[in-house]
Each structure stands twice: as C-alpha cells, then as structure tokens.
Structure 1
Amino acid sequence: MNSLLITATDTEAGKTVLTTALAAYWQKYRASHSFGILKPIQSGEGDRETYQKLFSLQQSPSEITPLYFQAPLAPPIAAAKENRNVDLGLVWQTLTKLQQNRDFVFVEALGGLGSPVTFELTVADLAAEWRLPTILVVPVKLGAISQAVANVALAKLTKVNLLGIVLNCSQPYSEADIEDLAPADLIQSLTNIRVFGCLPYFENPSDLEKLAASVSNLDLEHLWQRM
C-alpha cells in the first residue's frame, strides 16, 4: 500500500487539513521516504495552490491536479460549463505515475464520499474501483454522528477499503464539546469502524510543526506499519 485517499462526509469537513497534516508528518518523521500529493479534480482555486505553497513537491500543477475547472461546482457540472468531460483516464495516469515515482502518495478527494465525480460515479465508486485505502474525515458538529453512520454505510455498500475515521474541529471546541457532538466510542459502536482520534482547531492551518504534531497524537501506528 503506497497510497491513501483522504475523503470526508462533505465539503469543508477538513480533508485539506488532514492531508496537509499527514504530509507534514511524513516530511518531518519519514524524510528518507519521498511523497507526492494528488488532488485528482479541483473546481475553483484552493487546495492545489495550498500544497504548492507549503511543500517542495517537485510536481507541476498538472501533476498535483490533472483536472482543473474554473467554477467551484461539482465536477460534472463545472466541466459541462466549459464544454469539457471529466477525463478519469488522465487522473488514473497521473496517479499511476506518482505511485511509481514516489514512496507514498496522499490523495485528497473532492467533496464528500458521496460527491459526484461524473454523472455516473461518486468519490466512493472511484475509491472502490481504484482500490484506494481510505480515511474518512468527520467534522465535529451537531449531526456528526448521523453523517458518520451514513457515509460508512455508503463506503460498505460500494466496498471501499475504509481504514478508519478522523474527527476534525473546524472551530475551537473543548473536550466536553467534542464528546457531546462527536463521541468516538458511539461512532465506533454504530459503524464498526475505528476512530483514529481528533484533530484540534488550527488558528494557522499552515503551521506545519503543529500539524505534524497533531498527527503524532492520532492512533495511526498500525497504519504507518502497513505503509
């Protein structure tokens, strides 16, 4: 296994934060091993530019994001506005090349697990078809439990290799707040999927030291051993 897909329950759930944190951890603690970052499809500015700014990836923009659309909309809709198609063959070629040239590849999905990639396929379908081991980001908020249950059900239905869940605080929460809104034990019990831990709120999401430290606090040891 030399790739990991980071997906979520929805947009703005914390995929970029976790992807950045994982890459920061890899850069600090596994410096002898090369890594790449792939954002297969991007609609509007954002993640690709963030990764270029924070990491010396030695990847061209198209090697980070092979498919880029101007409108910040679901890919099939954004593509249609530009009279283009969502060329998944190009994405697959880019991923394969990265897997061959890097020790590890972090793949940040678009939107949530149920987000459309084309008019026929969702992120979950792609994760399953491409056999990408997957982590699901669940934002700490009211409704987190039901979102986790629904997305895990989708992952199981589509046979995604879902390794576990990471909770993410998009705003400063106390431990009591987190336990009330997104209790890890209850989510694990309802989904039968491991919760690796919770990312804190980051005032500065570009602080690689703090991001790497946050990954050290997640229960990912058995995951690293498989990589």
Structure 2
Amino acid sequence: MEIVFVSGTGTEVGKTYVAKQLAVAQRDAGVRVGVYKPVASGCIRQPRNSETNSVAPADQLVSADALKLWEAAGRPLDLDAVCPQRFEASVAPDEAARRSGQRVDVDLLTRGADCWRDHCDTLIIEGAGGLLSPIADELLNIDLFRRFRGAKLYLVAANRLGVIHEVIATCRAAASSQVTVSRLYLTASGPTADESGQSNAEQIRHWLPELDLREVAWGQGC
C-alpha cells in the first residue's frame, strides 16, 4: 500500500481540496484509493443520516473534511474508518481533546490506518493543521508523518503574499528533522490572485530548486 501524507504550511491553505483531487485522480486511473484523517477538531454534531454514514450512531461528531475526502474516494468503508478520532472544539486536536475531558489516542493515530491495507492500493492521509502543528500531546504532524514508514510527504501552501517565507521555513524545518518534502502544491486562494501570486512560484523554485512544485489554479484538479 502506497501512502501519501498531505500536510500544509498552516491552516486553510487547501489541504483538503488537494487531498480530494488526488483521490479523484486515483479513482479515475482505476486505482483503489483510501482516505484517512487520523484526528479532526472543529467537528459538528449530526444525526444519523444514510447520506453520510449508515452505520453511525445518532448525534455523532462528524468532520466536514473527512466527509469530503470520503465522498471523493467513492465512499469506501465508512466515516469511522476515515476519521476515528473526532472532537468538537475548533482548536488544535490536542487542546480540543482536553476540552472534552479526553486525550488524543497516539497509538490509534497510526493503528487506525491498518483497516485500509486490504481495501486500497493508495492511502491518502490528511494531517490536521500545518506540518509543525500539534496533533497530540508531545506529537506534531511531522512526528506523525515519520511513523508512516515509506510515506511520501506532499506539502500544500496558499499562493498569496507571505507564502515564500512559509514554504522555505517549513521545508527547512522538515529537513532539520531528516524529512523530505516530495511535492509542493501551490494553491490559488481565490478566483483572483493578489499581485504576489504571479511570481511566488518562480521565487520558490529559485530558493528550493529541487522541490517538485505544482501550481493549482482556482477550481483546477491536481
């Protein structure tokens, strides 16, 4: 099973959009694709509904991002397999868990992916927040990525003013932890780019010439 771990330079940079488009592209190529979001915060309470998960208990917490990933992958398995740990507060997962009187189950973050091994050829994992964001007590997303041996790391960044610093800082932080960014998706942050959007990709390529950079226009697939 090939594993692709999708992370970002921060929040709201287009991680879920890129992960969805990757899932769609895999399906179109005839590849069995699985999707996995190890933990999510900012979840909403939703009654049992056959349109989301026919085996879910009533009034369960649902991650909107996990639901989008599941639908993009063709609804394999169920939502619990996609996102086994869900918390309500719209803060980092470790803090969201504390506010609910719980803790993120660190072992489950990786163990939860095991159910996909017999059901997909490629597993797309979406982290929570940026690559250096906390995902559990004493665990950052980059630490979680390293637990998936052989996985590829795809970084997502929004093509807007400030992204050059965000990408260089994130890639250098990754390198200092012996982690290689396999690919960067530079995503349009709206239908109309700001002035920097025309030159950000060129600047990033100058500073990180070894990086596989792919630009994603507004509404474009990956």
**Shorter-chain TM-score above 0.5:** yes
1:169 aligns with 2:193: no
Q: CA RMSD in A?
A: 1.9
Instruction: Tell me how far 1:52 sits from its aligned partner.
Output: 3.5
Equivalent pair of 1:133/1:160 in contact (CA under 8 Å): no
Which segments of structure 1 move beyond 3 Å, counting only runs of 4 or more? Answer: 52-55, 173-177
Secondary structure at 1:146 match in 2: helix
Q: TM-score, normalised by structure 2?
A: 0.83
Equivalent pair of 2:160/2:193 in contact (CA under 8 Å): no
In the aligned structure 1, how far is the partner of 2:17 from the partner of 2:77?
A: 20
Q: What does residue 223 of structure 1 align with?
A: none
Instruction: Tell me how far 1:10 sits from its aligned partner.
Output: 0.5
* Residue ranges of structure 2 left out of the alignment (5+ in a row): 44-63
In the aligned structure 2, how far is the partner of 1:194 from the partner of 1:21?
A: 20
1:190 aligns with 2:188: no
Q: What does residue 36 of structure 1 align with?
A: 34
In the aligned structure 2, how far is the partner of 1:99 from the partner of 1:144?
A: 35
Choose from 49, 56, 67 the match for 2:85. Answer: 67
Matches within 5 A, 1:45-194: 45=43, 46-131=64-149, 132-173=151-192, 177-180=196-199, 182=200, 184-194=201-211
Q: What does residue 207 of structure 1 align with?
A: none
In the aligned structure 1, how far is the partner of 2:212 from the partner of 2:158?
A: 12
Equivalent pair of 1:35/1:106 in contact (CA under 8 Å): yes
Q: What does residue 218 of structure 1 align with?
A: none
Equivalent pair of 2:156/2:185 in contact (CA under 8 Å): yes
* Residue ranges of structure 1 left out of the alignment (5+ in a row): 203-210, 216-227
Taking a change above 3 Å as real, the CA distance of residues 54 and 166 of structure 1, as seen in their structure-2 partners, is closer
Identity of aligned residues (%): 25
Q: Identify the structure with the greater helix proportion.
A: 1
